[in-house]
Amino acid sequence: MATFLTTSTAGLKFTVRRQPAVLVAPAAPTPRELKRLSDIDDQEGLRFRVPVVQVYRRSASCAGGGLLDPAAVIRDAVARALVHYYPLAGRLRELEGRKLAVDCTAEGVPFAEADADDVRLDDFGDSVHPPLPCLEELLLFDDVVPATATTSSSIANSAVVHIQVTRLACGGFVLAVQMSHTVADALGMLQFLEAVAELARGAAAPTVRPVWARDLLMARNPPRPSFPHREYDDEVPLDDPIALPADQLVQGFVFFTPRDVAAIKARLAPGLRERSTTFDVLTAFLWKCRTTALQLQDADEEVRIGLTVSACHGKRGRLRLPRGYYGNTVVLAVAVSTAGELRANPVSYAVELVSKAKAEVNAEYIQSVADLMVLRGRPRFGLYLVSDQTKIGFAGVDYGWGQPVHGGMAAMALSPLPGMFSFLIPCKNADGEDGIVIPIWLPGHAMDRFTEEVGNLMRPPHKMSSI
């Protein structure tokens, strides 16, 4: 059954020797211009950095017999990749109407190399999976960027990308990259990292050439939203933790095997079972367990969940964006229920709501989101949301050391409100079993109830009537 993922590295504590950060500029001259972000890019809820961590073993098969310095190889590849992705070497600016743009200054990407002298990859246990220990040691933050760099505690005037390479005592290393979510989503971030990897392996240029084209996702003139967009409603249940800071929350990790997903699907009606994806099923399951755990006082209280839906595909009339586009291409669909109905009904009820919400997203819906951003001053989405990272591919990026032992979005979201987010992240558990881990942030008392509810719903059918 679904388990709460723990790690054999829970007691592993270490510090790194981080060298002063440097600014890695493009390896050749690049245009100096101001490039506006799209009206999907620059909404308030995306104004934070997305952290991705990739862990690599020492490899005797890479160039130089595995003796090359990964920091030097990746730093050089980043400089060459920035010739193509030159906006990433610039700085974010806030214009009139809170509109964000990238000032292509070629100042460069803050880059630090570090050493964890007392840590070997084996110290991470039989498999590397979230939660990673001492994550704050592996990530480069603004306070260690040279004072000569243009930095700020706010997103305005800040660097778009931060990179740290941490060498381990065994010859392996950890690459931690943070990118402003306003400039790229997870797929766009992956596209950049794959370009860096190709160049690190000796390619002359990236296979996929980057395309800016943010005008394709701008608001109409005049803006005319055509959907209600409940994701931006201001009303949030008073007992919901989405607005609580991280120090008032605890983080848990639920691990689902393919058997767990199949067990949940097996209890759905045949038609629903066939059309429901793993994302639909796990999102609905998570929504029901979370709502039950929060014990909202009013059964008629409305609860919502946001679902990230890609605009890249042609299905159901969604936009066909050009190959190489690396801006944000997702919008939020919203499933809505009362707390009482969600608690009382089987999981199939929640699955139906999730499936229906996703089906409503089409090209007009996406355009409507862009229009709403301009009309309402780029509001923050006000709900708990779930994003599927299982098909992104961070675990397949090869910089010359082979595929990573682990690669994916770091479980610690750097959003100021981490309780708003959960991600479906592919990984292996301590037994080496493939599955999906989902981090969730809740107050301590609610986390205890959440754990209990997950166990209740995953009991074998003969012990329960329905889920």
pLDDT digits (tens, 9 = 90+) for 120-150: 998 887 667 777 778 889 999 864 444 333 3
Query: pLDDT grade, residue 320 (50/70/90)?
Result: confident
Residue type, 365: Y
Name the nearest CA neighbour of 159 among 111, 200, 118, 127.
111
Is-cis flag, bond preceding 131, omega within 30?
Answer: yes
Q: What is the pLDDT of residue 313?
A: 52
For range 250-257, the mean pLDDT? 90
Does pLDDT of 399 surpass 90? yes
User: Where exactly are the structural domains of the chain?
Assistant: 20-212, 230-458
Give the C-alpha separation, 53 to 411, whole Å.
9
Which two structure tokens, joined as six digits, stand for 290? 């979370």
- pLDDT tens sequence across 4-29: 655 445 568 889 999 999 999 999 99
DSSP-based three-state secondary structure for 239? coil
Distance (Å, whole) CA 218 – CA 4: 42
Query: What are the tens digits of pLDDT across the range 368-398?
Result: 999 999 999 999 888 999 999 998 999 999 9
* Nearest alpha carbon to residue 441 among 420, 416, 414, 410: 420
Closest CA to 193 of 157, 172, 163, 168: 163
- Region of 319 on the Ramachandran plot (φ > 0 left; ψ -120 to 50 alpha; else beta): beta
> Would the pLDDT of 308 be above 50?
yes
- The pLDDT score that the predictor gives to residue 149 is 35
Look at residue 197 in the predicted model and tell me its pLDDT: 98
Alpha-carbon distance of 41 to 184, in angstroms, equals: 8
Q: Is 20-212 in CATH node 3.40.50.300?
A: no
Q: What's the length of the chain?
A: 467
398 catalytic? Reply is: yes
Amino acid at 32: R
Q: What pLDDT, on the 0 to 100 scale, is given for residue 415? A: 57
Query: Which residue is associated with the tokens 């979201």?
Result: 413
Please pick, among 129, 162, 181, 229, the residue that the annotation labels catalytic: 181
DSSP state for residue 88 in the 8-state scheme: G
CA distance 108 to 102: 13
User: What topology does CATH give the domain 230-458?
Assistant: Chloramphenicol Acetyltransferase (3.30.559)
Domains 20-212 and 230-458 share a fold: yes
Q: What would you report as the CA-atom Rg of the chain, rounded to the nearest whole angstrom?
A: 22
The per-residue pLDDT of the chain, averaged, comes to 87
Work out the percent of the chain whose per-residue pLDDT is above 90: 65
Question: Is residue 68 scored above 90 in pLDDT?
Answer: no
Q: What is the pLDDT of residues 165-220, one digit of tens each?
A: 999 999 999 999 999 999 999 999 999 999 999 999 999 999 999 999 999 999 99
Closest to 86 (Cα-Cα) out of 215, 209, 217, 218: 209
State the DSSP code for 6: -
Q: Any idea what the Cα angle at residue 261 is, between residues 258 and 265, rounded to 5°?
A: 135
pLDDT at 233 over 80: yes
Least confident of 196-210, 354-368, 412-426: 412-426
Q: How far is CA 285 from CA 87, 247, 257, in A?
A: 40, 26, 14
DSSP code string of 90-128 = SEEEE-GGG-EEEE-----EEEEEEEETT--GGGG-SS-
